[in-house]
Amino acid sequence: MKDKKHTKESKEKISKALEGNKNAEVWTEDATLEMLDKMIEYATTDIVCEVIKKTKTIQSDNGDTTSVEKHTITKRPTTLLAVASKFRMLSDWFNVMAKKHSNSETVLRTLLVLKEIVRTNLIEATENGTIKTAVGLANLSHNHGWTTQRTETNVVDVLKNVEIIDDADS
């Protein structure tokens, strides 16, 4: 077996030869980029949802009456799983495509763009209260490598490292 990569021309010949072959590879670079473009469009489009919230139950002579409030909210997908499921893909599709097209800078950059869009959606949804803060932070920590750190500063320890300069002598 030769250690030679296929040229663009040889890839096109192979693709044409495999047309109509149901066992042939489906996720060519072009097909992957086309799907990623659709996913980016989906991830950047507002989804309008009507939310019904039960506010309180009032007891009356005729029975209980429940008061409800209706709100319309807009949201965007906040996880890659949500994006994948919209297109009937498994959640590991992104990793499989990154590995399969590891030599394609275009595919890898497009995957990173999609991941950043989803992360931005998550941050915005956490900030505006569309999702609970704890859920948003847990997602950012688990899926995006964010860490939370608790620091305690002891004033005495800080002052030990401060050098006092006397300006009166100058």
Give residue-wise pLDDT tens across range 51-92.
Answer: 777 766 666 666 666 677 777 777 888 888 899 999 999 988
Between these two residues, 94 and 165, which has the higher pLDDT value?
94
Q: Of 57-66, 95-104, 128-137, which gets the smallest average pLDDT?
A: 57-66
If you average pLDDT over residues 148-170, what whole number do you get? 57
- DSSP H helices, 66-154, are 80-86, 93-100, 105-128, 133-144
pLDDT of 96 higher than 70: yes
Cα 118 to chain centroid distance, Å, stands at 3
Please give the pLDDT value at position 1.
46
* Token couple for 142: 């688990």
Interval 108-134 mean pLDDT: 86
Query: Could you read off the pLDDT of 21-55 as tens digits, one per residue?
Result: 655 568 899 999 999 999 999 999 988 878 777 76
Report the percentage of the chain scoring pLDDT > 90.
27
Looking at residue 72, its pLDDT comes to 75
According to the model, what pLDDT value does residue 126 have?
84
What integer pLDDT is reported at residue 53 of this predicted model?
Answer: 73
Q: What distance lies between CA 11 and its chain's CA centroid?
A: 32
Calpha distance 90→102 (Å, rounded): 19
Arithmetic mean of pLDDT over the chain = 78
Residue 160 pLDDT exceeds 70:
no
Stretch 130-150: mean pLDDT, rounded?
71
